[in-house]
Structure 1
Amino acid sequence: MKIFRTLYFSLLLFTIADTCCAQQLTWTVVEPGIWKAVAGNPDGLDLLKTAGAVPYHAGLAEMGTTEFPLPQDEIKATIIDGKTYLRFPLDTQEQLYGFGLNFQTIHQRGKIITLHVDNYAGRDGGHTHCPTPFYVSTKGYGVFINSARYIKVYAGTAVRVDSKTPPEIKDRNLDKDWKPNPYSDAVEMLVPASGAEIYVFGGPTMMNVVQRYNLLNGGGCLPPRWGLGFTQRMQRLADAASVAAEAQAFEDKGYPLDFIGLEPGWQSKSYPCTFEWDKTRFPQPKAFVQDMLKKNIRINLWTNPYVSPQAPVYNNILPYIATHTVWNGAVVDLTLPKARDLFFGALDKNKIDIGVGGYKIDEVDGGDAYLWPDVAIFPSGNSAEELRQTYGLMMQRYVTELYHSRNQRTYGLVRASNGGGASLPYVIYNDYYNHQDFITALINSGFAGVLWTPEVRSSKTAEEWLRRFQSNIFSPMAMINAWASGTKPWSYPEVAEQIKQLANLRMQMMPYWYSEFAKYHFKGIPPFRAMNLEPGFQSMPAEKPVEKEKINLEENPYESVVLKEIKDQYMAGENILVAPMFTGETRRTVILPRGKWYDFYTGKFAGDGQVITVIPGLDKIPVYVKDGGIIPMMPSMLHAPQINQQVDIEVRYYGEMPGYYKLYDDDGETFNYESGAYSFREIKVTKANGKIIGSISNAVAGKPNTVGKVTFKMMTN
């Protein structure tokens, strides 16, 4: 009796707490298939406003409406002691994806996560470069918390006493299937603020949810064509002569090159930074940058945002800095307009205004040993925590605005981002260097609203160098970031020719990559993404696959949330499946979704709804194209096409089904597409009697036309 009395009073206390502190949530449609509710009094600084995110209404309208995907009465918000407690219902069979840029896990159910901007240190747990507070369910809905706080997430791990569907009570003494982590029927979050904006996204598919999220952010970024070419970063103390020599070596050896990155030594002082050219290494910056542009090579400049006392802008910026420094450099409060004018003016003058193509924005992510501490005070009154969660967003946004004001697109690198930043033209990188985890991060980037590059820096063997390079060219930025080692594409002679072929393949595929990024912008479809977002794909079976074994994916739904993760293969655009190889591997398994798939290189049939084992050899990684897939290619070039330059297109067609593809076209460098100066050319291919009939729609009058002669190639005989 005493036990029941105790339980009764406990439940009564829960009821009283929920009643007196619970918030009545009112859901408002803000865009088709997107609802917003406000709990309590949210902070003035949030992710969407900081990123300058403006919804892409046309893309969202095209998707159409859908019904609210969750029972509204089961979504709870409670505010106690200045903190917001959120609860979202979770069914037994749901799996969750998202919660930022994770490196080792795709499935997030059963995790306890603190979403905290930080440098990744080798263990998933929320401390990462982009801890986006957004998750997607296999039931076809998503949730986004628009808060610039360190959010604690219990993703199906916290079991309430008053749960409607509590886990079965087990006895560890006798029950062999007792588990230390029982099932929970909710996702619960703790936001350390007195309120939060909550967004719910409808589907009906997971892909639709991701699209709506990206389109709420303004649509994905659309890089300039040259950004999708090849980049090489120089050693730290490189000078103008060595940069010119590097560019000439690429040309002489026949390796493509579109932009060169300069590391800290371009500045007179760094750690902290002066943001001024070093006069001994770059005595004539404007002439240097312009000479490189004449060779069709852009310059990208490394920087971090911490202002040296020797910087010309230092004295003027002192009223707008935090109480604490980073490497003895001032931390500017970028939430203040006057501070932004001074700081970004320094990044513009004699840099962007002389033709520099972009920035690599370093060390805005974390590392508590050096970044400003949470006890730092900023003159705006915004907390150090909020600045930590948003600093990368602000750096990206305001540099991009400098380029936008000149009607020039940019494409750069950054160490930190967050929710709201999908439209910002930056790719995340870090100092971690595990190849397998790089691929998992690439897969997760599609759920985080960011881009990630599995960059190549150094390798112990020629095999590792080649394996890393193979996956790098099937990524958002084809980059050697070997500033520390000085490694060149040809540094391993035994694989130098294969590396050149891969670099040329990257250039040949530029029409495909550019079109897929256009779909990212206009439709919100991530160009690189998890297999789980592919129609016809569900999950790899829990048991070990058998070579060439036929599995019925239609009858293999998520029977349990404890299924094998698919974290080593991914979709690259609409039609391509990539399955990287890692050092020491000679064979691997690949899961092919329902529908026929064909070898990218040969066009031969590979399988249909099967788990296959392949032995590709050293020169290739497994890459497949879906039935009816079209891959538009251009001739291999040493540099990306210049603005409005016409190039010939070879349409490669795979399989048997009729093919249809939308080839995107604009001038390749400006923001004129925002005013309608673009088109999608329709490519159609049919196959009959062993031959193909292909067509492409006419160029649109008054729009850019960079498409030259079009030919068609049947890859599958």
Structure 2
Amino acid sequence: MKLRKNDVQPKAMKKAMIKGKNHRFTVLTEKLIRLEYSEHESFEDRATQTVINRKFPVPKFEVVKREDQLEIITDHFHLYYTYGPFSKHSLWIDVKNNYSNYRNRWYYGEPFETLKGTARTLDQVDGSIPLDDGIQSENGFSIIDDSKACILKNEETIVPRESEQIDLYFFAHGRDYLGGLRDFYTLTGTTPLLPRFTLGNWWSRYWKYDEESYQNLIRRFQEDDVPFSVSVIDMDWHLVDIPEKYGSGWTGYTWNKELFPNPDRFLQWLHDQGMHVTLNVHPADGVRSHEEMYEPMAKELGVDVEKEHPIPFDITDKKFRDAYFQFLHHPEEKRGVDFWWIDWQQGTTSKIPGADPLWLLNHFHSLDFLKRGKRPLILSRYAGVGSHRYPIGFSGDTVISWNSYQFQPYFTATATNIGYTWWSHDIGGHFEGEKDDELALRWLQFGVFSPIMRLHSSSSPFNSKEPWRYPEHIAKIMKKYLRLRHQFVPYLYTMNWRTHQNEHPLIMPMYYLYPLKNEAYEVPNQYFFGSELMVAPVTEKIDRNLQLAPVTVWLPEGNWIDFFTGRVYKGGGKMKLFRGLDQMPVFAKEGAIVPLAKHVPKKHSIENPKDLEIIVFPGKSNTFSLYEDDGHSLAYESGHFAETKMEFQWEKKTFIVHPAEGDWSVIPEKRNVSVLFRGVRDLKKINVHVDGKTVPVQDGYCAKTNTYTVFVENWDVRSKLTLEFLDENIIKTEHDYKEAIFHLLNQAQISFPLKDRIYKIVVETDDKWKIIRQLRTMDMDEALFDAILGELI
């Protein structure tokens, strides 16, 4: 599958190969080697389901051949092979690192530990599940076993291996996790560039809507100023109540005209509202004679129409596959269906031994889009290593519970260890469980800071995720975060591009950038959200006494600025934070530049925005290049995209938005730009220039968020915008802990005498450590002490 030019080059360079009668080793990089053994003296040079490119530049390595032993040496590993069948006695590899005194040698066949990868599905899961292995390991090495993977003779033809072989890839990247991920992508293919609309909010519910009720739902969202960009229509779009002789109505392709009398009109209306549409399909039962397209499809495939024989599903058969797209999918796409939710739940067996029908569905649906000049896009379950080529991942029907939710941040971040970066969860959970407004809100907040934000729920009339179904104070916060997600689209789309270019995945575990820090491995639910932000979702219930929820976070060395409040935290260790319902811990690094779309009430476009907000967090120099294209086509492959470089020169106290480079036609000619400096004092002296000329601006300061805002109207994107600070001290490092502790105590559900005693100590003592010592001797709840401590340090 050709996702990018030169992706599919399965034959390695001959100079990288060391070959014997039954063995072959291919040094792909100084940290990656292929290990093959075949009793039949047969080695595979074609692409597999997993591996599509082995044509790496020949790296530097040394080969030592003796009569009884072969050695292959690079700067990162030393392989020993004493010939004969692979075994722990004949093949072992030393990885050159000092992460462990005894775990840096691997003997063939022996188990090894990784930081895990991901899993096929979270269906029916209430809590955590075991994960498959990934390519990252604290011990510095891991293995992908490709021995059983089918062969891709070409994009359309998948066959089983002709003979048994051992075919392994040994990763010796140490704790260079990003380097290992880049080599993995080079080996297995790039992640496609997602269409822009996928990064907004998705509405999904298993519910028997009709045209009128669905339109009323969308109108209500619009009236409440709640943006959505994707409409997920679950299985009731098609006929499900069918005669018993046809079997289950689970599979279907014919619109239910009682619910949707004019599908063309309905889909056009959704598009007119700025929505993109995906339909749910369960293809396992093929096409039965009650379907509208049965007769032409049956004739095409030579099925007896008169006898009403069903057309069996067989994705391995090219003739069926061509008809499957021609009659079932392409007509609906012409009507307005943008992509498909492939809800495969029928096992892993197909007519091709070893070929999972889920993988085949994912592959051929993506390929069908590419063949017609479209970006590949599906919503489907994970089907093994290499599935990152077929986003987006549907993680399945999870149980509504705190246990399920608490597992998802870790599950999402850890999937990056196998290159799978675009998980879409049933945000809020699918079924079972019980009504819990706090859980619904916290899950939604995580969804906003997850790869794909798709609200979902079951067919129960009591279980749905519309904000107005919750208490007013909860609904208000939900709406705020849903709007924020759409504001984030420019930032997310840039990270989408960087993921596609193998530069920087959107979600990364903390240890990716801090591999030698033990604390980075001790905060499994904390992760990086793009290049600029770090997120720690709230996964614990609120403390009823404090009206705040605890979150243990690790802040690496340096200053970290709260994205929402602008408070500057000094890093260098773990700390327990407390957040009310309306907040979650999201931190920006020093120098972070986060471009957002300005929220314009009731205008919910996710196109490249005319009104741009750029949030800048001072402290260090940094650059950020905002990537933009038309958002949907493959024109970017021909250079039709624009990049706008934003630069914070900390020593010069200068922020610059450089002229856009590339194809100006894909972005607005002029933009209204708001630059928000967060975590700063009320700045009084600032010069603003466009191409060196001073321009009038509007500015203002928000003490609540420590944010100074400069607004420039009608900035020409081909010009240079410069903001120069004349104030000496910009960062607001001090924190009004007395006021913060007053607010904490004021809302706490504790005794008034205790509040008075605590507050007296706080206001009468200016030495924070004396305050801490005195409070430590008092008889108070541990959570209360921790919350006060969080305001003092």
Pick the TM interval, shorter chain. 0.7 to 0.9
Match of 2:384 among 406, 418, 432: 418
The separation in 1 between residues aligned to 2:466 and 2:586, in whole angstroms, is 25
Letter in 2 for 1:621: M
Percent of aligned pairs with the same residue? 20
The separation in 2 between residues aligned to 1:111 and 1:492, in whole angstroms, is 38
Letter in 1 for 2:136: V
| Pairing of 1:303-452 with structure 2 (within 5 A) | 303-306=281-284, 307-310=286-289, 311=291, 312-313=293-294, 315=298, 332-364=313-345, 371-372=346-347, 378=351, 382-383=352-353, 386-388=354-356, 391-409=357-375, 411-433=377-399, 434-450=404-420, 451-452=422-423
| Residue number in structure 1 paired with 2:457 | 482
- Give the Å deviation of 1:406: 4.3
Match of 2:553 among 570, 573, 590: 590
- Give the Å deviation of 1:46: 12
| Residue number in structure 2 paired with 1:27 | 26
Letter in 2 for 1:244: Q
- Give the Å deviation of 1:668: 1.0
| Pairing of 1:159-238 with structure 2 (within 5 A) | 194-201=164-171, 203=173, 205-238=176-209
Match of 2:256 among 268, 278, 281: 278
- Give the Å deviation of 1:616: 1.6
Match of 1:514 among 486, 489, 493: 493
Residues 1:577 and 2:558 aligned together: no
| Residue number in structure 1 paired with 2:686 | none
Match of 1:496 among 437, 455, 475: 475
Match of 1:69 among 67, 76, 90: 76
Q: 1:112 to 1:584 in 2, by over 3 A?
A: closer
Q: 1:108 to 1:464 in 2, by over 3 A?
A: farther
- Give the Å deviation of 1:702: 5.9
- Give the Å deviation of 1:634: 1.2
Match of 2:594 among 631, 635, 643: 631
The separation in 1 between residues aligned to 2:42 and 2:123, in whole angstroms, is 25
Q: 1:501 to 1:121 in 2, by over 3 A?
A: closer
| Residue number in structure 2 paired with 1:171 | none
Letter in 1 for 2:137: S
The count of aligned residue pairs is 588
Q: 1:463 to 1:108 in 2, by over 3 A?
A: farther
- Give the Å deviation of 1:515: 0.7
Q: 1:39 to 1:115 in 2, by over 3 A?
A: farther
The separation in 2 between residues aligned to 1:64 and 1:656, in whole angstroms, is 40
Q: Tell me if structure 1 keeps the 8 A contact 2:394–2:423.
A: yes
Q: Tell me if structure 2 keeps the 8 A contact 1:136–1:143.
A: no
| Residue number in structure 1 paired with 2:224 | 253
The separation in 2 between residues aligned to 1:285 and 1:43, in whole angstroms, is 54
| Pairing of 1:115-134 with structure 2 (within 5 A) | 121=125, 131=132, 134=134
Q: Tell me if structure 2 keeps the 8 A contact 1:593–1:609.
A: yes
Moved more, 661-670 or 137-146: 137-146
Query: Which of the pair has the greater relative contact order for Cα pairs under 8 Å at 6+ separation?
Result: 1
SS in 1 for 2:468: coil
| Residue number in structure 1 paired with 2:570 | 607
The separation in 2 between residues aligned to 1:393 and 1:635, in whole angstroms, is 40
| Residue number in structure 2 paired with 1:453 | 424
Letter in 2 for 1:24: H
| Residue number in structure 2 paired with 1:539 | 518
Structure 1 residues 170-194: Cα deviation after superposition (integer angstroms, max 9, x where no partner): xxxxxxxxxxxxxxxxxxxxx9982
Match of 1:649 among 612, 618, 625: 612
Q: 1:356 to 1:701 in 2, by over 3 A?
A: closer
Q: Tell me if structure 1 keeps the 8 A contact 2:200–2:606.
A: no
Letter in 2 for 1:145: D
- Give the Å deviation of 1:69: 3.4
| Pairing of 1:11-22 with structure 2 (within 5 A) | none
- Give the Å deviation of 1:296: 0.7
SS in 2 for 1:523: coil
Letter in 1 for 2:76: P
Q: Which runs of 5+ in 2 are unaligned?
A: 1-19, 62-73, 105-110, 151-160, 241-247, 304-308, 543-548, 681-793
The separation in 1 between residues aligned to 2:238 and 2:427, in whole angstroms, is 24
| Residue number in structure 2 paired with 1:682 | 645
The separation in 1 between residues aligned to 2:612 and 2:563, in whole angstroms, is 17
| Pairing of 1:83-98 with structure 2 (within 5 A) | 92=100
| Residue number in structure 1 paired with 2:661 | 699
Structure 1 residues 452-480: Cα deviation after superposition (integer angstroms, max 9, x where no partner): 23432456222111111110100111111
Q: Tell me if structure 2 keeps the 8 A contact 1:230–1:256.
A: yes
Q: What's the C-alpha RMSD, in Å, of the aligned pairs?
A: 4.1
The separation in 2 between residues aligned to 1:38 and 1:286, in whole angstroms, is 54
The separation in 2 between residues aligned to 1:112 and 1:64, in whole angstroms, is 28
The separation in 1 between residues aligned to 2:321 and 2:312, in whole angstroms, is 12
TM-score, normalization by structure 2: 0.66
- Give the Å deviation of 1:122: 5.8
Q: Tell me if structure 2 keeps the 8 A contact 1:658–1:685.
A: yes
The separation in 1 between residues aligned to 2:557 and 2:609, in whole angstroms, is 37
Larger of the two Rg values belongs to structure: 2
Q: Tell me if structure 1 keeps the 8 A contact 2:344–2:381.
A: yes
TM-score, normalization by structure 1: 0.72
Q: 1:115 to 1:461 in 2, by over 3 A?
A: closer
Q: 1:93 to 1:534 in 2, by over 3 A?
A: farther
- Give the Å deviation of 1:655: 3.0
Q: 1:117 to 1:623 in 2, by over 3 A?
A: closer
Q: Tell me if structure 1 keeps the 8 A contact 2:595–2:615.
A: yes
The separation in 2 between residues aligned to 1:593 and 1:569, in whole angstroms, is 12
- Give the Å deviation of 1:238: 1.5
Q: Tell me if structure 1 keeps the 8 A contact 2:118–2:411.
A: no
SS in 1 for 2:569: strand
Structure 1 residues 28-50: Cα deviation after superposition (integer angstroms, max 9, x where no partner): 43x79654343327999999644
| Residue number in structure 1 paired with 2:545 | none
| Residue number in structure 1 paired with 2:708 | none
Q: Tell me if structure 2 keeps the 8 A contact 1:305–1:331.
A: no
Structure 1 residues 620-650: Cα deviation after superposition (integer angstroms, max 9, x where no partner): 111111111111111125576466x542322
The separation in 2 between residues aligned to 1:44 and 1:116, in whole angstroms, is 30
The separation in 2 between residues aligned to 1:241 and 1:342, in whole angstroms, is 33
Moved more, 243-252 or 332-341: 332-341
Letter in 1 for 2:413: I
Q: Tell me if structure 2 keeps the 8 A contact 1:428–1:452.
A: yes
SS in 1 for 2:416: helix
Letter in 2 for 1:602: T
The separation in 1 between residues aligned to 2:604 and 2:84, in whole angstroms, is 51
- Give the Å deviation of 1:139: 5.3
Q: Tell me if structure 2 keeps the 8 A contact 1:47–1:146.
A: no
- Give the Å deviation of 1:373: 7.3
Q: Tell me if structure 2 keeps the 8 A contact 1:592–1:609.
A: yes
SS in 1 for 2:565: coil
Q: Tell me if structure 2 keeps the 8 A contact 1:440–1:568.
A: yes
Q: Tell me if structure 1 keeps the 8 A contact 2:280–2:342.
A: yes
The separation in 1 between residues aligned to 2:115 and 2:630, in whole angstroms, is 45
